[in-house]
Amino acid sequence: MSSLFSMVYKPGFVKFALNIWPPFWGAGIKIISISADFRQVEVQLKLRWWNKNANRSQYGGSIFSLTDPIYALMLMGILGEEYFVWDKEASINFIQPGRGDLFAQFHLTSGQLDDIYRLTDSGQKCFPEFITHIKNQQGDVVAEVQRKLYVRKKPKYREGEEIS
């Protein structure tokens, strides 16, 4: 990968870009860390006066947004420009009100990556699923988010496919 994508798409740049991205910034979402290999990300949702709901706890949309692009961006950093990576489906289970700052940790294991590479090797689609637990400052789970992604090699990188 010698393209502009591979030169720019580095953890430090992605962290900076997301932290100034208006939807994250406005919602109170902050990327705390992205590992050098994109396999671990830690994110915080700060409770602000503008992201409280009528019950004075975290707005559910902000909690959901906290997880929105993270696994897709992690996989883009790992798989590179040869792959399409998109969010396909998501659901959230609110367990208790988020009355303060909230945190989420995202992890990709070698086994998960091996499965993605194996399932997409010949150009097939892959739909990996991930569960993220949103926790408060005490470590109690506030919400559980399930995300399904769409992963597939781009046509020019698929075996046996001709590009016109």
State residue 3's pLDDT score: 72
Per-residue pLDDT of the chain (164 residues; tens, 9 = 90+): 457 677 788 999 999 999 999 999 989 999 999 999 999 999 999 999 888 889 999 999 999 999 999 999 999 999 999 999 999 999 999 999 999 999 999 999 999 999 999 999 999 999 999 999 999 999 999 999 999 999 999 999 987 655 54
State residue 159's pLDDT score: 76
Q: Phi and psi (nearest 5°) for 41? A: -135, 140
Range of 71's domain? 4-157
In a domain, 94, yes or no: yes
In a domain, 111, yes or no: yes
Q: What is the 3-state secondary structure (H, E, C) of the chain?
A: CCCHHHHHCCHHHHHHHHHHCHHHHHHCEEEEEECCCCCEEEEEECCCHHHECCCCCECHHHHHHCCCCHHHHHHHHHHHHHEEEEEEEEEEEECCCCCCCEEEEEECCHHHHHHHHHHHCCCCCECCEEEEEEEECCCCEEEEEEEEEEEEECHHHCCCCCCC
How many domains does the structure of the chain reveal? 1
In a domain, 115, yes or no: yes
In a domain, 163, yes or no: no
Smallest CA-to-CA distance from 14 within 72, 88, 83 is with 72
> At what angle are helices 70-79 and 11-20 packed, to 10 degrees?
150
In a domain, 164, yes or no: no
CATH number for position 49: 3.10.129.10
CA distance 27 to 144: 18
In a domain, 40, yes or no: yes
State residue 158's pLDDT score: 87
CA distance 127 to 88: 8
CA distance 83 to 158: 10
In a domain, 162, yes or no: no
Length of the chain: 164
In a domain, 116, yes or no: yes
